[in-house]
Amino acid sequence: MAPHLRSSPTPVVGPADDARDPRVRILSAAGQEFAEHGYEAATIRDICAAAGVNVAAVNYYFGDKRRLYIESVKHAHEERLRQVPQPEWATGTPAQEKLHQFIDTMLERMLGAGQPPWQVRLMMREVLQPTEACRELVEDYIRPHFAMLVAILDELTAGMLSQAELRRVGMSIVGQCFVYRAAGDVVSMLVPRDEIESLHTPKPLAQHITRYALAALGLGTPLALPLVRVTKDVIA
């Protein structure tokens, strides 16, 4: 009986990441091809060539291309979850520090060192043009992250903002990171090369976005101090 027809699609035993297992070799190759070219443009022949298996293997293990795609998205994001686990903070860590580290981690994940991993590119495709695999991706991966950000913001503002307002602020922070990942090529055309390398890389960006958020919330020094505010600083 073909594996993709069995009751338990994923083998119950085994780590399922054995490089010699054709199934995971196909999943990995498929993920990279889908990430690079998209669903339509990626071909089963190329995927199988990259995985070193016969074209018939895809239908044997996954049934058809559509189900291979869905499985590869799930596989990619499970792998990514294992690669970069949620940071754990010691109790008593200042919320401001948590926020900074959260933004920094998000940017590092999205932009990474040099070329971002194909797993992120694949997930980005799902975000930009959702398919069947999207809902699962959101529930398992994106929603918990966003909830963590909202929790940090809640702690930061000590209950002064409603959950709705917190979500909106959270989306503002996510958006500032997101644009660099999704529209990175256009960003590179809008700002000079040296400026990109000095100001628009993860670390400086995390600092900027954090400072921008803290100042907007009234918890840090504004980016540009207007003259009227000087009086306050004198008093403080």
Q: What residues line the site for a copy of itself (CB under 8 A)? A: 37-38, 40-41, 127-128, 130, 134-135, 138, 142-143, 146, 157-158, 160-161, 164-165, 167-169, 171-172, 174-180, 182-183, 185-187, 189-191, 195, 199-200, 208-209, 212-213, 215-219, 221-226, 228-229, 231-232, 235-236
CA 51 to chain centroid, in Å, comes to: 25
Instruction: List the one residue out of 161, 127, 156 whose CA is nearest residue 141.
Output: 127
Q: Tell me if 65 contacts DNA by CB under 7 A.
A: yes
Burial per residue of 89-114, b for 16 or more beta-carbon CB atoms within 10 angstroms, e otherwise: eeeeeebbebbbbbbbbbbbbbbeee
Q: Which of 24, 30, 35, 53 binds DNA (CB under 7 A)?
A: 53
Task: Assess contact for 156 and 219: CB atoms under 8 A.
Answer: yes
Q: Tell me if 5 contacts DNA by CB under 7 A.
A: no
Q: Which of DNA, a copy of itself, none does residue 56 bind (CB under 5 to 8 Å by kind)? A: DNA
User: Helices 65-83 and 118-128: crossing angle, nearest 10°?
Assistant: 120
How far apart (Å, rounded) are the C-alpha atoms in residues 53 and 72?
16
CA dist 3 → 6, 59, 66, 103, 203 (Å): 5, 10, 16, 42, 45
Query: What residues numbered 20-49 form the site for DNA, per CB under 7 A?
Result: 22, 42-46
Q: Tell me if 178 contacts DNA by CB under 7 A.
A: no
Least Å distance between CB 188 and a copy of itself?
10
Q: Which of DNA, a copy of itself, none does residue 1 bind (CB under 5 to 8 Å by kind)? A: DNA
Which one, 105 or 207, has the nearer CB to a copy of itself?
207
Site for DNA, rule CB under 7 A: 1-3, 22, 42-46, 53-60, 64-66
